[in-house]
């Protein structure tokens, strides 16, 4: 289903009333021969009608954008929906070379991700075709606080306690946990979210270690930057807050897990590809990993954000992890707050407009 917001009347009124130079009136590339403004056109895939749609309807007129949408994921078959649009917006999905080439054939000039991560887009092909790629950011508090929640729940065995409560097992045996205040917590990646995690954890009284290729001076006041090997060896809790790249694929593999403390707790609200699933499961089964709080999985495409109730899901890693009492799984929802969703939709619209007008945007990840 397409939903379009047309801006022609609004901009005709603007053109009549405007008496000073502005982007709307004087961007010659965006003014048609008839004198009406030609809005940037964005087509949204997987646009959720219960939250994102209303935000897009409210923001699009403010940013001179005309948009269409579908609730479907992009495929080679439904790519035709984006014909005539300047940009497409996608959530994490298959945006491999065939999809990128297909959109290019249809005249799409940019791919605007509604996520911080952009590893699902074949940017090499996009660059070859002259297409732009953007990600979004959003206030860091939502994901940061969700990660801390998973730490606390994992250390206090909250998932296990809740499951036992469902069958009216209120005994204490097997429920004893650990106090985070007596733990050493390691944060891998000190971008906006990682820094917020450190700031919020500083009030818990725990020892804080950090690893990043580019240490942040302000964070040195509350955390100690150490080599990755040191962080792995000394931390009771390790939380990941870095993008997935070719260089850090399976950052936590069997070798890394072997270096960790016995009974370590691992938290991942970043990207599933940062952890080798087989090594994670082996560590949990052996007891090397005492608990895990996972908002993302390595093989989550086609799984999260779908209603799979009653389906036989061909994902053995998911089945094994769900069976473990010391694992908490959430379905990639750490970002899911009102503030973050609005920021993502706005970021897509702003990037599409910037690309169309040949302007820079901080969300441009084409050449990263």
Contact 322, 63 (CB under 8 A): no
d(CA 188, CA 231): 9
Q: How far apart are CA 44 and CA 90, in angstroms?
A: 6
Radius of gyration of the chain (CA): 23
Distance CA 337, CA 167 (A): 31
C-beta pairs of 131-134 under 8 Å, 24+ apart in sequence: 131/100, 131/103, 131/104, 131/366, 132/355, 132/364, 132/366, 133/364, 133/365, 133/366, 134/110, 134/347, 134/348, 134/351, 134/352, 134/355, 134/361, 134/363, 134/364, 134/365, 134/366
Residues 142 and 342 sit within 8 Å (Cβ to Cβ) = no
Burial of 125 (0-12, 13-18, 19+ CB in 10 A): middle
Interior angle at CA 174, CA 170 and CA 178, nearest 5:
110
Instruction: Exactly one of 195, 241, 271, 363 is catalytic; name it.
Output: 271
Displacement of CA 196 from its chain's centroid (Å): 16
* Residue 300 is a catalytic residue: yes
Taking residue 143's Cβ as centre, other Cβ atoms within 10 Å add up to: 26
Of 52, 66, 300, 342, which one is the catalytic site residue?
Answer: 300
Q: Which two tokens stand for residue 233?
A: 């060896």
DSSP per residue, 111-178: EEESSS--TTB-HHHHHHTT-EEE-----THHHHHHHHHHHHHHHTTHHHHHHHHHTT----TT----
Q: Which one of the listed residues 101, 160, 195, 332 is annotated catalytic?
A: 332
Active site residue 271: yes
Give the other-Cβ count within 10 Å of 205's Cβ. 11
Residues with catalytic function: 271, 300, 332
């Amino acid at each position: 289903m397409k939903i379009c917001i047309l801006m022609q009347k609004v901009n005709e009124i603007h053109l009549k009333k405007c008496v000073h130079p502005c982007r709307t009136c004087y961007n010659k590339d965006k003014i048609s021969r008839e004198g009406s403004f030609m809005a940037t056109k964005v087509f949204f895939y997987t646009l959720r009608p219960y939250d994102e749609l209303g935000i897009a309807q409210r923001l699009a007129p403010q940013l001179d954008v005309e948009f269409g949408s579908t609730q479907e994921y992009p495929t080679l078959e439904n790519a035709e929906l984006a014909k005539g649009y300047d940009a497409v917006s996608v959530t994490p999905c298959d945006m491999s070379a065939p999809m990128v080439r297909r959109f290019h054939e249809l005249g799409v000039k940019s791919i605007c991700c509604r996520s911080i991560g952009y590893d699902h887009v074949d940017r090499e092909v996009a660059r070859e075709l002259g297409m732009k790629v953007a990600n979004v950011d959003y206030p860091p508090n939502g994901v940061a606080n969700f990660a801390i929640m998973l730490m606390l729940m994992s250390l206090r065995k909250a998932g296990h306690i809740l499951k036992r409560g469902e069958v009216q097992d209120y005994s204490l045996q097997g429920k004893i946990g650990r106090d985070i205040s007596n733990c050493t917590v390691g944060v891998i990646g000190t971008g906006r979210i990682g820094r917020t995690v450190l700031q919020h954890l500083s009030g818990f009284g725990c020892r804080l270690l950090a690893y990043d290729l580019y240490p942040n001076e302000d964070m040195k006041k509350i955390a100690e930057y150490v080599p990755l090997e040191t962080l792995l060896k000394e931390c009771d809790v390790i939380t990941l807050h870095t993008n997935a790249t070719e260089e850090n694929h399976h950052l936590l593999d069997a070798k890394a897990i072997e270096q960790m403390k016995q009974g370590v707790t691992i938290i991942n609200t970043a990207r599933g590809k940062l952890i080798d699933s087989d090594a994670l499961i082996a560590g949990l089964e052996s007891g090397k990993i005492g608990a895990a709080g996972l908002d993302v999985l390595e093989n989550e495409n086609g799984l999260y954000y779908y209603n799979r109730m009653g389906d036989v899901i061909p994902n053995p890693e998911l089945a094994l992890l769900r069976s473990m009492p010391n694992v908490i799984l959430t379905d990639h929802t750490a970002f899911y707050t009102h503030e973050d969703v609005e920021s993502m939709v706005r970021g897509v619209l702003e990037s599409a407009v910037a690309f169309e007008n040949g302007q820079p945007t901080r969300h441009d990840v084409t050449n990263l």
